[in-house]
Amino acid sequence: MTINDNYQRWLNSPIVSLDLKETLKKMSQEEIDDAFFKDVEFGTAGMRGILGPGTNRLNIFTIRRATVGFALYVLEKFPDAKKQGVVISHDNRHQSRSFTLLTAQVLNDFGINTFIFDSLRPTPELSFAVRYLKTCGGVMITASHNPKNYNGFKVYDETGCQLIPQKIERLVELINSLPNELNVTYEPVTPRGVNQVLDHTIDDVYVELVKKISINPDLPKEGYKIVFTPNHGTSYVNTMRIFNDFGYDVTPVLSQIEPDPDFSGTLSPNPEDPRSYIEPVKLAQEIKANLVVMTDPDGDRVGLAYLASDATYKTFTGNQSAALLIDYIFSERKKKGLLSKDGVMYSTIVSSSLGRKIAESYGVKVEEFLTGFKFIGNRIDYYEKHGGPHFEFGYEESYGCLISPFARDKDGCQAILLYCEMALFYHLQGKTLDIVWKELNERFGWHVDKVFSIEFTGPTGFMSMNELMAKLHDNPPKELDGVAVVKVEDYLKQLTIVGKETTPINLPQSDVVKLFFADGNIICVRPSGTEPKVKFYFGIVGEDEEASEAKPDILYKHFKEKLGI
């Protein structure tokens, strides 16, 4: 069907509401093109998209179709799926609760029991609940850190891990075998599944497990002030409970604690966006706080700002904060005899090399995966079942960490507790975090990692994005600014290329190209799995701080020129 055919199909359908039809009629041609040029897809973090009418949008029809596919998937995979059931949770976004109830209804129609929370809960608690209740899967209705006009549908397996590609492939096959989103029909079975609303038991058990990850719980906290914001999202109740139990002096940003789908108290709910720090830093300045911590709306990512040695508030990238946390956790565990002699840390191919160097300095092995925490969660499960190395830490550069694997997704509650403990630990030694960061780079070399992105919206943008990636796969640059490319990792071809020699890459196929330069710098390019844009990751290592800090912007400008962007 053409874009216009799909548009007219929606306009003429008797099951599309009058409100949605009014929205359709008001669309510009550009908006129609973007809403109907393809079906909304599963990416690195499930199915995510803009809310509204259309095949490339999140709405009751696309959610319903995906849920029918997921019902068929769990019934096919698990003999006792109906009894085991599925846990469903949601964040604060528009239609999140109604999508949760719709998902439960469809699964119940297939005879599958469901468990839902009485209100919003964070993504890591959903992951934990799947494991705690021993269900055959989970669904999280969330668009994570995306803007307010987005929502999403993330699916989890029986281990509490997001579905990896091998599992997603079968789910996508089942969804694609169904009629289009407006024509999906089925006969409810008898007896229907039962939908159970969970009490606070899950919260209590989850919070107690988070508290157990503390390494130095008895550090004196008098006079140390923290500002916290959940960015209108899911983490407020659990995180404040943990803070209070540990005796931290925490002041929440009151204008950002309500689960507001319009994010009215912040310019951005994304810890990667400097605008998200404006209000919490303003409060920190008023009360003279030492540290600012925040989660994104679904509570799996953590950003922080800190009072630096020059009395101003500064922020860290996800790579920087993770590196500091890795060094703190591993050094303190080693000091206390808690660091495994057969330990492993997991990161991703776009994360900074600094994390690897720190881990290896403590004798911890490092494994890298494609972007998406599901690969880390899946590896944890594999090694637990096969007697592999002991999990010590896992992280992504996009502000996501996991300290203890009772959850199998990045966990903002865990990360906040350890970040606060880490910052307090150094504060008691008279060190601000910028000093600790400087000392870390003096040990391992100056690491500057920066991410840039270019948006490609609509069908024309989609084609341009594919053309850009095809160009990189077929004819990657051989040099940049006179520095030779000495190695290429092509994850679509699943090959490492050095000169004319190639070796296979033992990771799933993915549309990613990673360039290694003779001076030790790295550029990695990949389309986002959650938004219509391409991300450019620059990893710089140098001896001089000032020169290293300036280099990513220079290289990015020249790299775009080389690619003709």
* 347 given a catalytic annotation: no
| String of DSSP letters for 55-70 | TTSBSHHHHHHHHHHH
**90 and 181 in a common domain:** yes
Position 459 scores a pLDDT of: 85
Question: Is there a domain that residue 7 lies in?
Answer: no
Give CA–CA dist 361/330, Å, rounded.
Answer: 10
Question: Is there a domain that residue 387 lies in?
Answer: yes
Q: How far is CA 143 from the centre of its chain?
A: 10
Domain housing 382: 206-444
**134 and 47 in a common domain:** yes
Provide the CB-side half-sphere exposure for 313 (13 A, CA): 23
- Using the 3D structure, point to which of 198, 219, 236 is the last residue of a domain: 198
Position 45 scores a pLDDT of: 66
**539 and 465 in a common domain:** yes
DSSP reduced 3-state for 90: strand
**71 and 169 in a common domain:** yes
Question: Is there a domain that residue 12 lies in?
Answer: no
CATH number for the domain spanning 48: value is 3.40.120.10
Amino acid at 167: K
Element of type H or E holding 360: helix 353-361
Q: What is the largest CA-CA distance in the chain?
A: 70
DSSP reduced 3-state for 536: strand
- Using the 3D structure, point to which of 444, 476, 506 is the last residue of a domain: 444
Q: How many domains does the chain have?
A: 3
**377 and 344 in a common domain:** yes
Give CA–CA dist 40/38, Å, rounded.
Answer: 6
**468 and 435 in a common domain:** no
Question: Is there a domain that residue 5 lies in?
Answer: no
**351 and 457 in a common domain:** no
Question: Is there a domain that residue 154 lies in?
Answer: yes
Question: Could you report the per-residue pLDDT of 88-137, keeping only the tens digit for each?
Answer: 999 999 999 999 999 999 999 999 999 999 999 999 999 999 999 999 99
**259 and 280 in a common domain:** yes
**233 and 161 in a common domain:** no
CATH number for the domain spanning 535: value is 3.30.310.50
| 185 burial level (CB within 10 Å; 0-12, 13-18, 19+) | exposed
Q: Which residues contact 49 (CB under 8 A, 6 or more apart)?
A: 40, 56, 57, 58, 62, 150, 151, 152
Position 44 scores a pLDDT of: 64
Position 117 scores a pLDDT of: 98
- Using the 3D structure, point to which of 426, 444, 462 is the last residue of a domain: 444
**52 and 130 in a common domain:** yes
Instruction: Identify whether the C-beta of residue 521 lies closer than 8 Å to the C-beta of residue 559.
Output: no
Catalytic choice (89, 144, 235, 528): 144
Question: Is there a domain that residue 331 lies in?
Answer: yes
Instruction: Identify whether the C-beta of residue 348 lies closer than 8 Å to the C-beta of residue 368.
Output: yes
- Residue where the block lists tokens 């079975």: 189
Provide the CB-side half-sphere exposure for 297 (13 A, CA): 33
Query: Residue by residue, what is the 3-state secondary structure of 98-141?
Result: HHHHHHHHHHHHCCCCEEECCCCCCHHHHHHHHHHHCCCEEEEE
Question: Is there a domain that residue 29 lies in?
Answer: no
Amino acid at 329: I
Position 515 scores a pLDDT of: 97
512: which 2 tokens? 């990613």
Positions of the chain with pLDDT under 50: none
**210 and 244 in a common domain:** yes
**380 and 231 in a common domain:** yes
Question: Is there a domain that residue 119 lies in?
Answer: yes
